[in-house]
A and B are shown apart, each in its own frame.
Chain A
Amino acid sequence: MSKRFEDLIGSPDDLAPEERARLRRVHDLLLEVGPPPEVPRRLRAPAVGRLSSRGRSLPALLAAALAAAAFGAGYLAGARDSGADAVRTIPMVGVGEGRDASASIDLLPEDDAGNWPMDVHVSGLEPNARGGDWYELWLTKGGKPIASCGRFTVDSAETTVRLSIPYRLRGYDGWIVTRRGSDEALLSTT
C-alpha cells in the first residue's frame, strides 16, 4: 500500500509551507528507514540474570549458573552447532588495589569431558610487565582462593582470555583474581 504524505496528514489550513516541508522530510525518512523490528516478548525486558550479582548471594548465583549450564548445555547441544554461547555471565567488581577494574566471566557449556570453558573479560587492570608477571583467577570457598582456574596477562585496557577448568563448581562460592605473588583479591564476585 502506498503511503501518500497528503493522505496521511490531511490538508490542515494552519500548516505553513515550511512546516509542511519539514514534516514531508520526516515522512520520507520513515519510509527510507522502514519499520522498527518486532521484539519478541521474551526480550522486552532485560535479562537481569546476565547482569550483576548485587543483591544475590554468591552460592545462589553459582547454583543458578550450574542450573543454567546444565539446562543450557542440553539446549545448545540440541539447537546450536557452535555451542559458543555463554550459559551464564558472572560479573566481578574491582576491590582493594583493583578497585578501578571490572570483569565478567562468560561461563560456556560444559564439554563432554567435564571441562567448563569460560571467557574472562577484564578491564582496568594494570598491564603486566612482559615475562614473569601474571594475574590468576581462583575459585574460592569462604573467601579464600582454593582452586586455580588459570593465569593470564594483560597488556591493554581490556583483555579477554579463554580459560577452562575441570572442577565441580558446586563446591565453591565465588571467584577472585589475584596478582602473582599475592593472595590479595583485585577482582571479586562478592
Chain B
Amino acid sequence: MEAVLTTNRPVVPAGGELASINGATNRELTDGQLLERVGSGDRGAFEEIYRRYTRPVLGLALRRLGDRGRAEDALQDAFTVVWRSARSYDPSRGAGAAWLYTVARNAIVDGARRRPELPAELPEEQAAGAGPDELAESSWLTWRVLRAIEELPENERHVIELAYWSELSQSEIAERLHIPLGTVKTRTRTGLARLAGLLEEELR
C-alpha cells in the first residue's frame, strides 16, 4: 500500500477546496452536505471529509486492530469506500457522522477478515470483560470525541491537546506557545465549552 501512496499522488484539481454552493465553502458545510458532494465526484469535498475524519477513522482502526500498520491500511481502505459509496448516502436516514462511522467500521472489519494475521479486537478489550454493546458504545464515543476535537479552532485544539495529552504543565504550554498563562487557561476553558456544545448528546 505504501507504494501506491508514495508513487501515485497526483495533484487534486484546483478549485475543490473553495468550490461553493450558495456561497458556502467546504469547511462550512455539514458532513452530510459534504457527503452529497462527494457522491457527485467533488474531490474538494472529499478532502474536507478526509481532514475531518482522518483521526477518528485511524483511532477506530487502532482500537479494532491494535496494530498501527494494519490500522493505516484500514484508514485508506475506509476512505476508498467512502469515495466509492458516497452516492448511497441518504441524508433522510441519518447524519453524515453515523454513516461514516458505519462505513469505516465495516471497512476495518472487512480488512481484518481479508488479512487475519491478528485478532480484530484488542485482547485487552476482550479481557476487560466488556460485551459487544459496550465495545460498540465505547467506539462510537471515541469516534464522536475525536471528531469534535477536529472541529475546534486551531489555537484551542492545540492547547487542549497539549493540556490533556502531553507531559507539559500549563506554564510550560504557555512558554512553548509564547502566550500568557491566563490565555492557556482561557483557551482550555473555551475549548471545553465548545466541545460540550458539540458533544451534547454524549454528555446527557
Residues of A in contact with B (beta carbons under 8 Å apart)? 1, 3, 7-10, 12, 15, 19, 22-23, 25-27, 29-37, 39-40, 42-52, 54-56, 64, 67-68, 71-72, 75-76, 79, 81-82, 84-89, 91, 102, 104, 121, 123
Contact = CB atoms under 8 A, between A and B. Distances in A.
B180 to A, nearest CB: 12
A102 B84 contact: yes
Nearest to B149: A36
Nearest to B72: A43
Given A46-B50, A50-B76, A22 B196 contact: yes
B192 A68 contact: no
Given A39-B55, A39-B58, A82 B117 contact: yes
A91 B81 CA distance: 11
Interface in B1-55: 1-13, 41, 43, 46-47, 50, 54-55
Contacts of B163: 3, 8
Report the 4 A-B pairs with minimum CB-CB distance, sorted nearest first.
A49-B8, A72-B3, A35-B165, A10-B185
Contact of B84 (A1, A34, A81, A104): A104
B80 A37 contact: no
Given A26-B203, A48-B9, A48-B43, A84 B196 contact: no
The interface residues of chain A, by DSSP majority, are classed as mixed
Interface of B: 1-13, 41, 43, 46-47, 50, 54-55, 58-59, 62, 71-73, 75-76, 79-80, 83-85, 87-88, 114-115, 117, 141-142, 145-146, 149, 160-161, 163-165, 167, 169-170, 182, 185, 188-189, 192-193, 195-196, 199, 202-203
B80 A33 contact: no
A33 B5 CA distance: 30
Nearest to B164: A30
Given A33-B145, A91-B84, 6 more contacts: A33-B141, A40-B72, A42-B2, A46-B47, A47-B76, A50-B8
A23 B84 contact: no
12 contacts: A15-B189, A22-B193, A23-B196, A36-B161, A43-B75, A46-B50, A49-B10, A50-B8, A81-B117, A85-B73, A87-B4, A89-B80
A78 to B, nearest CB: 11
B165 A88 contact: no
A52 B45 CA distance: 14
B108 to A, nearest CB: 13
B47 A76 contact: no
